[in-house]
Amino acid sequence: MNSKRSRLVKLLVIAIACFSLVFLLPQFPSFPTSPTSPSSKLPNLQPHPLPQSLAKAELQNDAGDYFSQVKATAVGYLVWSKFPLKIYLEQPKSFSDSAGNLRFQQWVAAVREAITEWNNYLPLVETENSELADILITRSQVDREIELDAETGLYKIPRTITAQTTYDFYLSSDTPPILSHQMKVQISPDLGKHATLATARHELGHALGIWGHSDRETDALYFSQVSDPPAISLRDINTLKKIYQQPTRLGWAIEN
C-alpha cells in the first residue's frame, strides 16, 4: 500500500513541551509561501463542519473555556477534519513477561485509556501502520533543550520533561494535494500508571488541537503536573469545541 504521505513535504516542526520548569511556548516561524511550486497557493482559511461527536457535546457556557490561551498556527488552528483519526501506539517488541515488558504493557494500557476518553469527543481508531497514522505516540524520553536567555545572558535548563507533542505539515498524495498535519507525542517510560494516564490525556489534548494550556488545575490541559490529575473537564471540551469552529488552511486542497 502506498503511503498517503508519498509526497511528504516536511515544512516545519513545532513542539509544545509540557511540565517543564521553564515553560516555553513556541514561536511560530513564518510559513513558506510556496510549498509545492511557485504557482501553487495555500488554501484559504475556512472552517470545517463541526464533527458530530463534538456538536453533540452541549456547550456548558457557565463552565467557561480557555480558548484565549490557544494559539493558531501560520496555517490556522490545528483542526482535524477527516475522521476517525488514526493513532499509532508504540507496542512492546516481544511478548516476554519480563518486568520491563510488563511495565511497557502497563504504559500501553494507560495511554489506551486516555484514547478511549477522548474518543467520546472526536472519533479515534488505532492503526498498526505508523505510516498511515495522524497521531504517533511513542514511549521515549524527551530531550531537554538548553536555551540561552538573550536578555539575562543566562542559560535556562528545563527540569525533566515527561512528555512532548510536536507537529509537522505535509501535502497528501491526493489530487489536488491537501494541506495536512501529523502529530507526534512522546511520553516518558518512567511514569507510574496514573501519571502516564494523566500525561497521555494532556498530550492527546494538544494533539487534537488544544495548542495551549489552561491556568486552572482542574483542567486536563493545566500547564503543570498536579498530584491529583483531573479528568477531561467541561472547560477542556468547551475549548476544543471553539477550536473546531475556527477557520484553518489544514484539510483543504492546495490550489494550482
In the complex, least distance from residue 58 CB atom to Zn ion, rounded to whole angstroms: 26
Closer Cβ to Zn ion, 18 or 187, answer by number: 18
Distances (CA, A) of 201 to 178, 182, 204, 236: 28, 18, 5, 11
Hey, how many other C-beta atoms are within 10 angstroms of the C-beta on 187?
Answer: 28
> How far, in whole angstroms, is CA 121 from its chain's centroid?
15
For residues 200 and 187, is the Cβ–Cβ distance under 8 A? yes
Closer Cβ to Zn ion, 104 or 211, answer by number: 211
**β-strands 85-89, 124-127 pairing:** parallel
18 binds Zn ion, rule: CB under 5 A? yes
For residues 179 and 249, is the Cβ–Cβ distance under 8 A? yes
Q: Which residue is nearest to Zn ion (CB)?
A: 18
87 binds Zn ion, rule: CB under 5 A? no
70 binds Zn ion, rule: CB under 5 A? no
208 binds Zn ion, rule: CB under 5 A? no
**β-strands 13-18, 163-171 pairing:** antiparallel
Q: Is the dihedral of CA 117, 80, 67, 214 positive or negative?
A: positive
In the complex, least distance from residue 163 CB atom to Zn ion, rounded to whole angstroms: 8
- Please give the sequence-ordered ranges of beta strands (E in DSSP) within 100-256, or none if there are none: 124-127, 135-139, 147-148, 155-156, 163-171, 179-187
Closer Cβ to Zn ion, 76 or 205, answer by number: 205
Binding string to Zn ion for residues 30 to 69, with x set by CB under 5 A, is what?
----------------------------------------
195 binds Zn ion, rule: CB under 5 A? no
> What φ, ψ does residue 185 adopt, rounded to 5°?
-115, 130
185 binds Zn ion, rule: CB under 5 A? no
In the complex, least distance from residue 23 CB atom to Zn ion, rounded to whole angstroms: 9
In the complex, least distance from residue 16 CB atom to Zn ion, rounded to whole angstroms: 6
Hey, how many other C-beta atoms are within 10 angstroms of the C-beta on 186?
Answer: 22
163 binds Zn ion, rule: CB under 5 A? no
Distances (CA, A) of 121 to 57, 100, 117, 195, 233: 7, 33, 8, 22, 12
CB under 5 A: which stretch of 12-20, 102-110, 131-139, 244-252 binds Zn ion?
Answer: 12-20
Closer Cβ to Zn ion, 18 or 237, answer by number: 18
187 binds Zn ion, rule: CB under 5 A? no
Closer Cβ to Zn ion, 18 or 124, answer by number: 18
Closer Cβ to Zn ion, 14 or 18, answer by number: 18
Distances (CA, A) of 17 to 44, 52, 91, 160, 227: 29, 30, 23, 10, 19
Binding-site size for Zn ion (CB under 5 A) equals 1
78 binds Zn ion, rule: CB under 5 A? no
Chain contacts with Zn ion (rule: CB under 5 A): 18
